[in-house]
Structure 1
Amino acid sequence: MTFILYTFIALLTAIIAYKIFRYSTNGKIQATDKFVLVTGCDSGFGRLTALKLDQLGCYVFAGCLTQRGIDGLRKIATKRLHPFMLDITNAEDIARAVQIVTQTLPDDQGLWGIVNNAGVSGSGLIEWVPIERYKKVTEVNLFGSVAITTAFLPLVKKSRGRIVNIGSILGRISTAGCSAYSISKYGLMAFSDALRREMKYFGVTVHTVEPGYFRTNMICGGALERETLQLYNNLDDQTKKFYSEEYVNKLLEDIRIYVQQASSDLNLVAETVADALLSTRPDYHYLIGFESKLMALIALLPTSWSDYLFSQFFTIPLPAENNL
Structure 2
Amino acid sequence: MKVLQLDVTDDWQVRGAVKQVKQRLSEDKGLWAVVNNAGIAVCSEIEWCSVIQFQQLMDVNVIGVVRVTKAFLPLIRHSQGRIINVASLAGRFTFPTFSAYSMSKKACIAFSDGLRLEMAKFNVNVITVEPGLYRTPITSEDYLINLNRKSWAETPTEIKNDYGEEYFDAFLKNMSEHVRRARSNVSEVIDQMEEAVTSKYPYSRYVPYWVTYIRTSILTYLPTSLSDKVFKRYCVKADVSVKKQS
Could you say which TM-score interval applies, normalised by the shorter chain? over 0.9
Structure 2 unmatched ranges of 5 or more: none
The one-letter amino acid of 2:124's match is V
In the TM superposition, what are the counterparts of 1:96-175 in structure 2 within 5 Å?
A: 96-175=16-95
Q: Aligned partners of 1:247, 1:167: CA distance in 2, in Å?
A: 31
Alpha-carbon contact 1:176-1:316 (below 8 Å) kept:
no
Query: What residue in structure 2 maps to residue 294 of structure 1?
Result: 215
Deviating more after overlay: 258-267 vs 144-153: 258-267
Q: Aligned partners of 1:319, 1:116: CA distance in 2, in Å?
A: 41
Give me the TM-score of the superposition, normalised by structure 2. 0.94
Query: What residue in structure 1 maps to residue 134 of structure 2?
Result: 214
User: Aligned with 1:114: secondary structure?
Assistant: strand
Shift of 1:138: 0.5
> Which of these residues, 230, 233, 241, is aligned with residue 309 of structure 1?
230
Offset from partner CA, 1:11-47 (integer Å, 9 cap, x none):
xxxxxxxxxxxxxxxxxxxxxxxxxxxxxxxxxxxxx
The one-letter amino acid of 1:183's match is M
Are 1:229 and 2:146 an aligned pair? no
Structure 1 unmatched ranges of 5 or more: 1-80
Alpha-carbon contact 2:163-2:242 (below 8 Å) kept:
no
Q: Which runs of 4+ in 1 moved over 4 A?
A: none
In the TM superposition, what are the counterparts of 1:147-296 in structure 2 within 5 Å?
A: 147-289=67-209, 290-291=211-212, 293-296=214-217
Alpha-carbon contact 1:211-1:292 (below 8 Å) kept:
no
Based on CA coordinates, which of the two structures has the bigger radius of gyration?
Answer: 1
Aligned pairs, how many?
243
Q: Aligned partners of 2:231, 2:93: CA distance in 1, in Å?
A: 11
**CA gap 1:126/1:221 in 2 versus in 1, 3 angstroms:** closer
Shift of 1:301: 1.3
RMSD across aligned positions (CA): 1.6
Shift of 1:122: 2.5
In the TM superposition, what are the counterparts of 1:77-88 in structure 2 within 5 Å?
A: 81-88=1-8
More strand per residue: 1
Q: Aligned partners of 1:221, 1:247: CA distance in 2, in Å?
A: 18
